[in-house]
Amino acid sequence: MNRGRKSPASRQNLHGTLAGREILCATVREQRSSSQPSDTTGLGDARLLRTLYHLTPMRILLSALGSSGDINPFLAIALALRARAHDPILLLDPHHASRATALGLETRTLSTGIHPDAASEHPDFLHPTRGTGVFLRDMLIPCLEPLYLAARDILATEKPDIAIMHHVCFSIPWACEQAGVAWGMAATAPASWMSFADPNRYPMMPDRDAYRSWLLRPGNALGRWATAMMVDPHVNRLRRKLGLPAQRHTMLEQMFSGVVNLGLWSPNFRPPAADDHPRSRITGWPMLETDPACMPTDEQERLDAFLADGPPPILITFGSSIGRTDARAMQLIEQALPLLRERILLVAPSDAARRLSKDPASVCTVSYAPYASIIPRCSLILHHAGMGTTAQTLRSGIPAVLLPHAHDQFDNARRTRMLGCARTIDAHRATPDRLAEILNTTLGDEAMRTRCRTLADGFSREDGAAATAAALEEVVGAPKDADRAATPDAPPRVHATTASH
């Protein structure tokens, strides 16, 4: 349904009275926790309260690109917004759009080259140093034009109150600016927010508890220069084609260009830093508690029987991208298995994993399993330090051994290790003997297991999806300044130039 643009005054009615907002949220929580089959989402009561208290539902466009670890937080946010009687609409690639549709979410489909099997088309995607360049140049940049065009059409027809997008979707703000729609950016991992106060670990950096400040500044400058060299020429060719002026440092400056810039991770994992952007807000991990991806019936029966038939196994998984493409990881695991005296549950979509099930009593392999339900039933998890798997593991209180391959995984692994919840090993230098040794050592580390359980209590209490929805209510409900550029904490302007590249 098309919606007219709301005035700033009508946007303030979004919250109505404080009492109305609190009653609404309390009712939704109570309804969601009840077992009433007639309205399991609580939308009936929520909409009634919005009518009584003159609370206007928000229309919000959400978009993301990447793996399941990038998409799932946006699905969780959309569900939280819907539970508060708002109207989210998602712009996703076909694979993830089908998952959103299965959740009952309104979705528009975008054809992109980023999908679960895309990494297999780019052999260097998982390279520790070349991987980021491959992702930006060969996978992301070709998506920018269709992303811009699709967003432009949705903004024209749906007229949302705000658009919230994954920080790599940096062509959507161009469409938002033209349509006069406010936007916000969202990063799913701390590595996206460069900081000197709380530095990240990037590829080629050693795994240290602390880094010398005199090394960080030239490293930061080099990173900005390299990113600009990879991204800006391609972006400016596209912008000229679209009739837009050229830009400098498009990706890094666009990342903080929104009226709000969200960090979708736990503040206990990476707290706010002194040099974060003024309008940045860390809201917690938005966890997708209901995953529409279903296991094949035979795999579900085999998994249930395996988990019930012995002690908790070691869970091995490398996520939705690595598990499909990294034959070396599968070979490493195959060679390490004889050195372990534990039962193994391997979640991997690749055919290479099938040959590991030589002994069904000690090894079970499945192509998919819902982490939220199986991780608590395991003794240890070996994974790649993707943000989604890392969050689920920390919330479950299970120790981990981490094999980061590329991208933000190095920083996620370092932060988990510094929390005392994991050991790390270089995926590109690991040997079967070394891997088996670290797994056995971590299994017997009762101090780490106690530490994991202690921290899990705090992590599991957070509701990042609800916190993000509340933050968006606050942002959209606030009156807009007539001229954002005149405010002290206005979004950083991306520099327009007349240079041709």
Query: pLDDT tens digits, residue range 171-222?
Result: 999 999 999 999 999 999 999 998 989 999 888 788 888 888 777 878 778 7
pLDDT at 14: 40
Instruction: Look up residue 30 and give its amino acid.
Output: E
The C-alpha atoms of residue 231 and residue 38 are separated, in whole angstroms, by 50
Please list the alpha-helical segments (H only) found in 242-385.
Answer: 250-254, 297-308, 319-325, 327-336, 371-374
% pLDDT > 90, the chain: 43
pLDDT at 449 over 60: yes
Which 8-state DSSP code applies to residue 478? Answer: S
Tell me if domain 8-16+55-285+463-483 and domain 297-461 are identical in fold: yes
**Burial (0-12, 13-18, 19+ Cβ within 10 Å), 164:** buried
Q: How is domain 8-16+55-285+463-483 classified at the architecture level of CATH?
A: 3-Layer(aba) Sandwich (3.40)
More confident residue, 257 or 355: 257
- The pLDDT score that the predictor gives to residue 46 is 53
Mean pLDDT calculated for residue range 333-348? 85
For residue range 101-133, what is the model confidence (pLDDT) as tens digits? Answer: 999 999 999 876 565 555 556 666 666 667 677
Q: Which two tokens stand for residue 405?
A: 């391959």
Distance CA 501, CA 497 (A): 11
Q: What is the DSSP string of 327-364?
A: HHHHHHHHHHGGG--S-EEEE--SGGGGGG-S-TTTEE
Instruction: Match 């999908």 to its residue by tokens.
Output: 115
Edge-first strand order for the sheet with 261-263 is 106-109, 87-92, 59-63, 162-166, 182-187, 261-263, 280-282
Cα dihedral: 232, 235, 241, 243 (round 10): -80
Residue 85 structure tokens: 């009687």
Mean pLDDT of the chain: 80
pLDDT in tens, 39-80: 434 445 555 555 555 467 899 999 998 888 899 999 999 999
Fold of the domain built from segment(s) 297-461: Rossmann fold (3.40.50)
pTM of the predicted structure, to 2 decimals: 0.83
Give 486's pLDDT tier (boundaries 50, 70, 90). very low
Beta strands in 354-464 (DSSP E): 363-366, 380-383, 400-402, 422-424
Confidence (pLDDT) at 160: 95
pLDDT at 82 exceeding the cut of 50 = yes
Selection from 320-324, 425-429, 466-470 with the highest mean pLDDT? 466-470
492: buried, middle or exposed (CB in 10 Å: 19+, 13-18, 0-12)? Answer: middle
Tokens of 136: 């930006």
pLDDT digits (tens, 9 = 90+) for 342-389: 899 988 765 655 666 556 668 888 888 888 889 999 999 999 999 999
Spell out the domain ranges in the chain: 8-16+55-285+463-483, 297-461
Question: What pLDDT does 1 receive?
Answer: 40
